[in-house]
Structure 1
Amino acid sequence: MFRFCLLLALCAGPAFGAMLDGPVRVIDGDTLEISGERVRLFGIDAPEHDQRCTDAAGRPWACGARATEALRDLTKGRAVRCSGEEQDRYGRLVARCAVAGRDLGAAMVRDGMAFAYRRYSLDYVAEEGQAKAAKRGIWAGTAENPAAVRAGARPVQAAPKGCAIKGNISSRGRIYHLPDDRSYAKTRINTATGERWFCTEAEARAAGWRHAGD
């Protein structure tokens, strides 16, 4: 049974506390979904889904896809517990997550599958040092920081406040894209042709649109 507990503050404001636990769906190397709720792992930044790194011999390898698989391996068939107090700009819970008490963020960084996200936390710097010293994963050769990869990507089309889901009409029909989806950044919305923005997945589905991954 999935459990989602939302503890709302008595005063107005964005702060809240939340706990999620149950089986997960892995989105990428630092994002999970539990019972329909998106969770961004606190304190780490994994290579972007399509990002490529180079190994010790200078050969390219799909580090983004490998990071996704690494997180999938850590969580497959296991209950995950997440606890967080903030949401990011995409509405995802930013949380520490664990399997049987094992911190997933620490494991990903220690295995060389993610960077310590120093912009927001120094909690996993020691694990990153261990991975570097052992030349594990992204530290076996060279890897561009994911934040730099994102900064060099095509600018994201501005979304209405709180409504970042893109409703796109294509040869596949009426498809919606979530902010973490692979094709989100390159998908452009033209409201003149009937395309639109949605605030929630439930709203998109009720309007007859289906997720790009369905």
Structure 2
Amino acid sequence: MLCTAIIGVPAQAAGKRITGTIQVIDGDTFDVGGTRVRLFGIDAPEGDQTCTDARGDELRCGSFVTTQVRDAYRGKQAVCKQVDTDRYGRSVARCVVGNVDVGQSLVASGLAFAFAEYSRDYIAVEKAAIRAGRGIHAYTMVRPSAFRAQKRAAQTAAVKTPAQAGQNGCTIKGNISAKGVRIFHVAGQRDYQRTSIRTDKGERWFCSASEARAAGWRAARR
């Protein structure tokens, strides 16, 4: 679902018709008749993106969205009109299935966000989904674009600040709060730099988020 600046394409490519059977790659990316298509105007959660419920429990909302989209559209016939091409060579397109705009349907169902940076077509639809608490809007989740930016910042910080690592070379900080809550912080998050690790109190370093979760830590929300 990674989406960056869209680049221009020749006039004959814009408006190109793409048709065929859908294979779902993730929440906003399909293969349509063998052509990789990034749905225009929407941004679905990344596959490894999480959200939290009202109790603060972490859920795998990105994986959930991909599964829901796959169940809804896999094997269906789509008709798409190319708008542009992104830097990865994917056709950025509007697609319809059975005369229904797929992008609009996903945003209305709470399975994707309106990608206002590129289009304002689905902003009102998203607002209605938020008010109704549909899909991912029933949970707390950062927008996918912000999630990707956090990951890039964390990767950059990890490269620039090698001193911020435990003896095992890992950079994720497993902190225990005053209330005993186990929280892990990745480089680039708000409290990462000021969080110190006290191994004598049971705090520790992790090499991956999955490792931290498996050990009983949850992700910091900021």
TM-score range, shorter chain: 0.5 to 0.7
Shift of 1:91: 0.7
Shift of 1:153: 1.9
Matches within 5 A, 1:33-48: 33-48=31-46
Q: Which amino acid aligns with 1:58?
A: G
1:70–1:108 Cα contact (<8 Å) kept: no
2:21–2:75 Cα contact (<8 Å) kept: yes
1:53 is matched with which residue?
A: 51
**C-alpha distance in structure 2 between counterparts of 1:115 and 1:148, whole Å:** 12
1:42–1:95 Cα contact (<8 Å) kept: yes
Shift of 1:43: 0.4
1:81–1:97 Cα contact (<8 Å) kept: yes
**C-alpha distance in structure 2 between counterparts of 1:81 and 1:74, whole Å:** 16
Shift of 1:84: 1.2
Shift of 1:127: 1.2
2:83–2:94 Cα contact (<8 Å) kept: no
Asked if residue 145 in structure 1 is aligned to residue 135 in structure 2, the reply is: no
Deviation readout 1:116-138 (Å, 9 max, x if unpaired): 00000110011101111111112
**C-alpha distance in structure 1 between counterparts of 2:76 and 2:59, whole Å:** 28
1:128 is matched with which residue?
A: 126
1:14 is matched with which residue?
A: 10
**C-alpha distance in structure 1 between counterparts of 2:53 and 2:95, whole Å:** 29
2:23–2:75 Cα contact (<8 Å) kept: no
Structure 1 residue runs without a partner (length 5+): 1-12, 157-214
**96, 101, 104: which one pairs with 1:103?**
101
Q: Which amino acid aligns with 2:88?
A: Y
Q: Which amino acid aligns with 1:52?
A: T
Shift of 1:57: 2.8
1:53–1:63 Cα contact (<8 Å) kept: yes
Q: Which amino acid aligns with 1:53?
A: C
Structure 2 residue runs without a partner (length 5+): 1-8, 156-222
Q: Which amino acid aligns with 1:133?
A: R
Q: TM-score, normalised by structure 2?
A: 0.61
1:28 is matched with which residue?
A: 26
SS of the residue 1:152 aligns to: helix
1:23–1:79 Cα contact (<8 Å) kept: yes
Matches within 5 A, 1:1-214: 14-15=10-11, 16=13, 17-154=15-152
Which stretch shows the higher mean deviation, 34-43 or 52-61? 52-61
Structure with larger Rg? 2
Deviation readout 1:153-202 (Å, 9 max, x if unpaired): 2479xxxxxxxxxxxxxxxxxxxxxxxxxxxxxxxxxxxxxxxxxxxxxx
Deviation readout 1:81-139 (Å, 9 max, x if unpaired): 11113101111111111110111111111111111000001100111011111111121
Runs of 4+ in 1 over 3 A off after TM superposition: none
Shift of 1:76: 2.8
Shift of 1:143: 0.6
Q: Which has the higher helix share?
A: 2
1:206 is matched with which residue?
A: none
**C-alpha distance in structure 1 between counterparts of 2:100 and 2:51, whole Å:** 27
2:6 is matched with which residue?
A: none
Q: TM-score, normalised by structure 1?
A: 0.63
Q: CA RMSD in A?
A: 1.9
SS of the residue 1:148 aligns to: helix
